[in-house]
């Protein structure tokens, strides 16, 4: 049950509009097994209520308090990512961006299945840009968002999925900064500056960090032999192609969820079927 109370600052109209947008987005996505299902909604005085199916704890809670930061295996990550990508693809096909994907907004049921929740910042792409920015949670914001872009699209969701995939594999967030600039610097330090400079939206501004042009991402997620030697998370070449495709700094070259789910990585282990 989600209970929201209108603020006393005279902004009740926007509050009611945002609440209605979340209810509308959930109802539009109704029926997909990887998105939490709405049950009822309504208003009582200055409060608004949204009842949803009961699922279980958040993925963040499971990662921190059940697994205690232990890494997920590549097979586990493949199964989880297929569910997440399928849920986000469903939203994107409906013309919606989630815009706040993170482990805190994913629920885990008692069978280990995932359901995306909290569509409060979701946005319809029907009317086109400009879209609001800043939006979402900084650690999961795509580079174009950190650069202040308002002409973005569903590729911002793909980036957040890439961060979550890296986090599941490594047991920790790959880019933790204390500001937009610091986050962007850490991203470019690892992924290089060449990719973002090829983006048509790049205006030539000076970029933080990122002294090298190429990416060092493969060094963080090496093949099995090297991973055993260095104690790093292992990732086969097919898996790395998905990870690096989701974590492209240039949104024009970043994988969509549609493209990601067609990748051979999701077919090699025949992960359990999820409605698309």
Active-site residue list: 100
Chain-centre distance of CA 264, in angstroms?
Answer: 21
Structure-block tokens of residue 105: 């907004």
Spatial neighbors of 112 by CB under 8 A, at least 6 apart, are none
CA distance linking residue 145 with residue 196, whole number of Å: 12
Cα 43 to Cα 155: distance, rounded to the nearest angstrom? 34
> How many Å apart are CA 153 and CA 145, to the nearest integer?
10
The dihedral of CA 126, 147, 116, 12: what is its sign? Answer: negative
CA 97 – CA 258 distance, rounded (Å): 14
In this structure, the chain runs to a length of 276
Contact between 27 and 96 under an 8 Å Cβ cutoff? The reply is no
Beta carbons within 8 Å of 254's beta carbon, 6+ residues apart: 142, 155, 158, 159, 245, 246, 247, 248
């Amino acid at each position: 049950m989600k209970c929201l109370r209108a603020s006393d600052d005279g902004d009740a109209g926007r509050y009611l509009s945002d609440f209605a947008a979340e209810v509308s987005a959930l109802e539009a996505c109704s029926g997909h097994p990887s998105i939490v299902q709405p049950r009822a909604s309504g208003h009582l005085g200055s409060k608004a209520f949204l009842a949803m199916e009961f699922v279980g704890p958040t993925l963040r809670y499971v990662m921190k308090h059940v697994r205690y930061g232990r890494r997920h295996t590549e097979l586990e990550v493949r199964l989880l990512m297929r569910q997440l990508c399928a849920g986000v693809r469903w939203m994107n096909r409906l013309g919606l961006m989630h815009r706040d994907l993170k482990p805190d907004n994913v629920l885990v049921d008692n069978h280990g299945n995932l359901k995306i929740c909290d569509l409060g910042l979701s946005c319809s792409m029907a009317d086109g840009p400009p879209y609001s920015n800043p939006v979402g949670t900084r650690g999961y914001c795509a580079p174009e968002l950190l650069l202040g872009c308002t002409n973005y699209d569903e590729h911002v969701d793909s980036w957040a999925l890439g961060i979550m995939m890296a986090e599941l594999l490594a047991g920790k967030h790959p880019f933790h900064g204390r500001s937009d600039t610091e986050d962007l610097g850490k991203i470019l330090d690892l992924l290089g500056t060449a990719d973002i400079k090829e983006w048509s939206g790049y205006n030539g501004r000076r970029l933080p960090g990122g002294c090298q042009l190429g990416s060092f991402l493969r060094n963080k997620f090496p093949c099995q032999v090297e991973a055993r030697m260095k104690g790093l998370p292992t990732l086969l070449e097919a898996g790395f192609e998905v990870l690096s495709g989701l974590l492209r700094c240039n949104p024009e070259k970043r994988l969509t969820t549609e493209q990601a789910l067609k990748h051979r990585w999701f077919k090699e282990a025949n992960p359990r079927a999820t409605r698309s």
